[in-house]
Structure 1
Amino acid sequence: MTNAANAALSQWSMDRETVMSRVIDAPRDLVFEAWSDPKHLPQWFGPKGFKIETFEIDVRVGGVWRFNMIGPDGTVYPNRMRFRRIERPKLMEMDHGVDQDEDPNMFRFTIIFAEQADGKTVLMMRQLFANTEQRDQTIGFGAVEYGYQTLDKLAAYVGGLKR
């Protein structure tokens, strides 16, 4: 990531972010495990119809997940996440972009896991971009819709784990 992008991502700004949330019918510990355990994460991650091909996965602060997201039409999207902060079971933060060094379109990705008294989890995904144009381009190609599809897959996956 470039110094300018890193500086921009160190200051949170609402005009450069997208926020998605969902109530998931599963306990917070289980939802957090689905995000943080290498055996679970590739099983559900990504939009509807997409498959994950993992090359490296080390879910810890400073660790990296390198993977291809393969679309329903066979298009391959190389991805890399670097885990910046993990506060079990309430928060994860990572930088996410393409699988290359110094990705100018890398964005900060924060997931907040809030426990409800009824055994459900409120999950909030916040994505912070280096600038408003980058955020708008991402929204334009469907990132919000794809994000909600990913949350749908997560909810279905943890629903199967809790049975």
Structure 2
Amino acid sequence: MLTRKFAAPADLVYAALTQPELLRRWHGAHGWHLTGCDVDLRPGGAWRFVSHGPDGAEMEMYGVFREVEPPVRLVQTEIHRGWPEGAALVTTVLTETGGHTTMTITAQYPSPEIRDQVVRSPMRRGAGEAYDRLASLLDHEKRDHS
């Protein structure tokens, strides 16, 4: 489980998690850029992200939305190209209190082996850096819409 609090309302956080024009501005660790971003935001709709990073590295993730409840909940499958077979089930819940939003993400992996591989990967650092970038984007968006 990953939890992060943002100084922004839930509708803005939700938009940043689901709108390609905003996703391209923050998604990924430092040095990574989202170059492909397809989002069909509806139950049964597919999503696909392609990112490019240092030394020509490429990462692709994709899946299908199972639940779409703006601005409080997303449930989707997630598959990383090149990782062991099987999709994670990722649930994102946004809880707003006093103009601040707590994002809680829970990922269920199809096997302990895949879960362990994810834990050993640099995902924690990458997610932290990406959510720092998201916080900066949210601050910028709030100022522009004030």
Normalised-by-shorter TM-score class: 0.7 to 0.9
2:73 alignment partner AA: L
> 2:19 — aligned with what?
37
Q: How does 1:13-162 map to 2 (within 5 A)?
A: 19-54=1-36, 56-98=38-80, 104-117=85-98, 119-162=99-142
Name structure 2 gaps, 5 residues minimum: none
Spell out, residue by residue over 1:6-26, the C-alpha distance to the aligned partner (whole angstroms, 9 max, x if none): xxxxxxxxxxxxx11111011
1:105 alignment partner AA: G
Q: Please give the alpha-carbon distance, in whole angstroms, between the structure 1 residues aligned to 2:116 and 2:37.
A: 30
Task: Tell me if structure 2 keeps the 8 A contact 1:65–1:80.
Answer: yes
For 1:144, what is the secondary structure of its paired residue? helix
Q: 1:138 to 1:28 in 2, by over 3 A?
A: same
Q: 1:99 to 1:135 in 2, by over 3 A?
A: closer
Name structure 1 gaps, 5 residues minimum: 1-18
Aligned length: 142
Identical counterparts, % of pairs: 28
Q: Please give the alpha-carbon distance, in whole angstroms, between the structure 1 residues aligned to 2:115 and 2:76.
A: 17
> 1:6 — aligned with what?
none
Normalising by structure 1, what TM-score? 0.79
Normalising by structure 2, what TM-score? 0.87
The structure 1 segments of at least 4 consecutive aligned residues displaced by more than 3 Å after TM superposition are none
What RMSD over aligned residues (CA atoms) do the two structures have, in Å?
1.8
The structure with more strand, counted as a fraction of residues: 2
Task: Tell me if structure 2 keeps the 8 A contact 1:20–1:144.
Answer: no
Q: 1:55 to 1:116 in 2, by over 3 A?
A: closer
Spell out, residue by residue over 1:42-93, the C-alpha distance to the aligned partner (whole angstroms, 9 max, x if none): 3211222211112633222211222311122221112213211111111111
Q: 1:79 to 1:46 in 2, by over 3 A?
A: same
For 2:43, what is the secondary structure of its paired residue? coil
1:130 alignment partner AA: P
For 2:136, what is the secondary structure of its paired residue? helix
Q: Which has the higher contact order (CA 8 A, sep 6+)?
A: 1
Q: Please give the alpha-carbon distance, in whole angstroms, between the structure 2 residues aligned to 1:59 and 1:73.
A: 32
